[in-house]
Structure 1
Amino acid sequence: MGVIKRVVKPVTHKGKKVLQSRAPKIIEDPKKTLFLKGRKASQYLQNVMKDLYLLKSPGCIMRNKKHDLVPMEDPTLLEILTKRNDCSLFMFGSHTKKRPNNLIIGCTYDEHILDMFEFEVTNFKSLAEFKNEKVTQGIKPCLIFSGPIWEQSPQFTRIKSLLIDCFQREQVEAIRLQGLEHVINFIVTPDNKILFRSYRIQLKKSGCKTPRVELEEIGPAFDLTLRRTKEASDDLFKRSLKQPRELKTTVKKNVSRDKLGSTHGRVHLGKQNIQKIQTRKMKGLKKSSKKNKKVVKKV
């Protein structure tokens, strides 16, 4: 039996605007992240989530109330909370004797859980421990994924896709060099640990037009060890990546552009019979009949 969705009809004008903002769009708004705490959350893990919240703000929501959630066993309540807060991404922190400093990162599709990955957080250094200048809040970061495992392992490819959704902001068509201030580097070690590192970009004089680039670590810094996963099926994951027809670019055949930006087109014509081409009717071009031809005799 299929799932019957209840259609919500707005009562007020404000409710109508809220439902319209949550409706599907051709170009979707930047994804928001919901930060939640479990029944028990250590201060160590709360500091991790607080620094991640500062990196992602203003595109995120932090809930300080503790929730009785076990996402890996029953994600129903989590789906309700993400829908209520209009967030398609979430980070859930909990601390137990069996799984200390536990961080679950996941995403939703069509108001249901798509992917979830559970990590153990270790070697944490907060933003306050780095005594240097920080980047501007809300700036778009440059994401770097170091290590061949990101492309070789299907599981880490899914994690990479999730991390890109978590930390990217609005899509831009052009980038200004002075606007690049922040770099987030995800490094995979041979023992499959993910190292999270954050840097500030410094542009210094180099004696030529291209400046010399230096990276200064600003925090936070921590390591993630993968514990459990809950991944969607390949068909569902492929369906979540589907784009509307309006965004798909149509390739024009036989049209090319050169280095100067000029457009060149190639036209294909069929075989032509010159004798049957219709030309302008002129008296001089009119063919004379054989009867009217004069026979010229040789003298």
Structure 2
Amino acid sequence: MAALERVLKPKTKRSKRFLEKREPKLVENVKNAMLLKGGNANCTVTQALKDIYALKKPYAVLYKKKNITRPFEDQTSLEFFAKKSDCSLFIFGSHNKKRPNNLVLGRMFDYHVLDMIELGVENFVSLNDIKNSKCPEGTKPMLIFAGDAFESSEDYKRLKSLFIDFFRGPAVPCVRLAGLEHVLHFTALNGKIFMRSYKVLLKKSGCRTPRIELEEMGPSLDFTVRRTHLASDDLYKLSLKQPKTLKQKKKKNISQDTFGTTYGRIHMQKQDLGKLQTRKVKGLKKRPAMDGPESSSKKPRHV
């Protein structure tokens, strides 16, 4: 039995907190990513991993030592590192004569490999090669996808989902305009995928709305899709399943119009207005003069 699979009771408060972080939660934490390289990674793959790590920080772990493994043949080492570092996303970089400048992008489900797509890097421009200002660490990027292949091809659909899962960052309740300063653009054209990274510059426009300009800051990568390892439809559907407590219950008899006004429908039984209790006021009491016309014609007798 592996050391990570043993069931141990925590003896200290620190180990107890560590195990509580690993427990299943209704609302998941931000997905962490691990970046590791194979036994024969070259300078291009190593620098590409460092640049992607710079975009993903602080929700990433970069392994600097080489790991001799083949993800499409044996996935046990990836699953071991994923469980050790509590990461559900990974990028594995390698280089050989048959597949030069190779990056394997994938994700885990229950610490087992769910999806893997192998990408070949053809053109690469590093962050250091572009001498422009960079975005601060931890900036949440805006993701833009262009190309019909992301909607028509099943492999490209899953690759789009992988890119979104990898770069979207933490979920936030509100967005500040000045915080929207990083754009990741993915274009699918002629069997290739072009990844570009831009910094958003807000310029003066003479009115309240600023003028927006995009300045390339790197990294810049051109990908080609090679091998794929996709999960079955049943397993993929199981990974998307949410607990019942998170699902919002449908409210009956409530509707909204085009202007956002909420209307509620109330069901009531038939009411008998004759028995309706009203407020008792002295001015509404009956008087002798109101009994009828005959009573008003009679005069009191004198004794």
TM class by shorter chain equals 0.7 to 0.9
- The Cα RMSD (Å) is 2.1
Q: Alpha-carbon deviations, 1:128-178, whole Å to 9, x = none?
A: 111111111111010111112212222211111111111111101211111
Q: Distance in 2 between matches of 1:274 and 1:156?
A: 66
Trace 1:84-163 onto structure 2 (pairs within 5 A): 84-163=84-163
Q: Which one-letter code corresponds to 2:26 in the other structure?
A: I
Secondary structure of the residue that 1:135 maps to in structure 2?
coil
User: Relative to structure 1, is the Cα distance of residues 257 and 273 closer, same or farther in structure 2, using a 3 angstrom cutoff?
Assistant: closer
1:268 corresponds in structure 2 to 267
Q: Which one-letter code corresponds to 1:34 in the other structure?
A: M
1:76 corresponds in structure 2 to 76
Trace 1:1-299 onto structure 2 (pairs within 5 A): 7-189=7-189, 191-257=190-256, 263-269=262-268, 272=270, 279=276
Q: Which one-letter code corresponds to 1:210 in the other structure?
A: T
Secondary structure of the residue that 1:62 maps to in structure 2?
strand
Give 1:274 shift.
5.1
Q: Alpha-carbon deviations, 1:58-101, whole Å to 9, x = none?
A: 11001111111111011011101110111001110011111111
Q: Which one-letter code corresponds to 2:265 in the other structure?
A: R
Q: Distance in 1 between matches of 2:260 and 2:36?
A: 51
Q: Over alpha carbons, which structure has the higher Rg?
A: 2
Q: Alpha-carbon deviations, 1:4-32, whole Å to 9, x = none?
A: x7544334332221111011111111111
Q: Distance in 1 between matches of 2:8 and 2:225?
A: 39
Moved more, 47-56 or 149-158: 149-158
Secondary structure of the residue that 1:127 maps to in structure 2?
coil
Secondary structure of the residue that 2:206 maps to in structure 1?
coil
Q: Which one-letter code corresponds to 2:39 in the other structure?
A: R
Moved more, 205-214 or 5-14: 5-14
Q: TM-score, normalised by structure 2?
A: 0.85
Q: Distance in 2 between matches of 1:80 and 1:51?
A: 24
Structure 1, unmatched stretches of 5+, are 282-299
Structure 2, unmatched stretches of 5+, are 279-303
Secondary structure of the residue that 1:131 maps to in structure 2?
coil
Q: Which one-letter code corresponds to 2:221 in the other structure?
A: F
Q: Alpha-carbon deviations, 1:210-256, whole Å to 9, x = none?
A: 21111111100011111100011101101111112222122212223
The percentage of aligned residue pairs carrying the same residue is 49
Number of equivalences: 274
Q: Which one-letter code corresponds to 2:229 in the other structure?
A: K
Q: TM-score, normalised by structure 1?
A: 0.86
Q: Distance in 2 between matches of 1:166 and 1:40?
A: 25
